[in-house]
Amino acid sequence: MASNEEELKPYLITDPQEMSARIDELRRQGKKIGLVPTMGALHLGHLSLAIAAKNECDVTVVSDFVNPTQFAPGEDYDKYPRTLNADISLLSKIGTDFVFAPSPDAMYPRGFDATVHVGGVSKLLEGRFRPTHFDGVCLVVLKLFNITRADIAYFGQKDYQQVQVVKKMVEDLNVPIQIDMRPIIRERDGLAMSSRNQYLSDEERKESLVLNRALEKAEELVRGGERESSVICDAMRQIIETAKDATIDYIHIGDPKSLVEMERVSGDVVVLLAVRIGTTRLIDNRLIERK
């Protein structure tokens, strides 16, 4: 008889065709499928998504794949942390059903030549600094949707722009899937959890707290009645610049769906940041909804 630990251990699949075959069988049984797309190096933010999927769906699939198409030359693809065994161990504790961990060759075999491009929301912010990034994200996410045919896909709010791009792709291409964005999971001191946080030195780790402090200041000003985006951004910039190793890529206040910049705060807004602490690039955001 299998032990409880063995019963909970996720089934590892590396072949896209095998993953699809498993899903076909489960869908014939009427099972509801939840997908959590990740690049591995899992932390509590990822696990919160996997728990949500387990609670709401009959079957949970967590993809664990460092996707090469969303990295530009010179970015951190080669050094991006790969911790598959540790990831499986974490997922076993919450009863995830499948871990889908294909190789790059399995996802992009010889002769692969397809592209996916979403305009509009993908051209702002991250799209300016990483022009090919969202094309790679949309390509791999659409492949994962097609392979798993999930009913719901769970994403974290930390990658807010990415979620809006994926939602637009799903809407425009009539992909039959629900996109569920879950709140940012933070460390006790407020730093948004990210696989890239491990790149930070101890001193940089302390300096990185300016991101959350700046977002807290933005919300304080909005709740206090400030409506000029320039005033809010200036206050945030002053906080971030107290960190000696901080370089600001952008501070942006925009519409929550289109991300179009808002000169004056009106209704719900999203505040987005990208800041380099030393050589590590961090993103964070705050969705401020009108109460």
What residues are labeled active site?
46
Task: Choose among 287, 289, 198, 280: nearest CA to 245.
Answer: 280
Q: Is the dihedral of CA 70, 73, 78, 79 positive or negative?
A: negative
C-alpha distances in angstroms, 235 versus 259, 268, 290? 20, 20, 21
C-alpha distances in angstroms, 200 versus 150, 196, 214, 277? 35, 8, 19, 8
Task: Kindly state the tokens that stand for 245.
Answer: 């190793």
Task: Kindly state the tokens that stand for 287.
Answer: 């969705």
E-strand stretches of the chain? 11-13, 33-38, 59-64, 98-100, 152-156, 178-182, 246-254, 269-277, 280-288
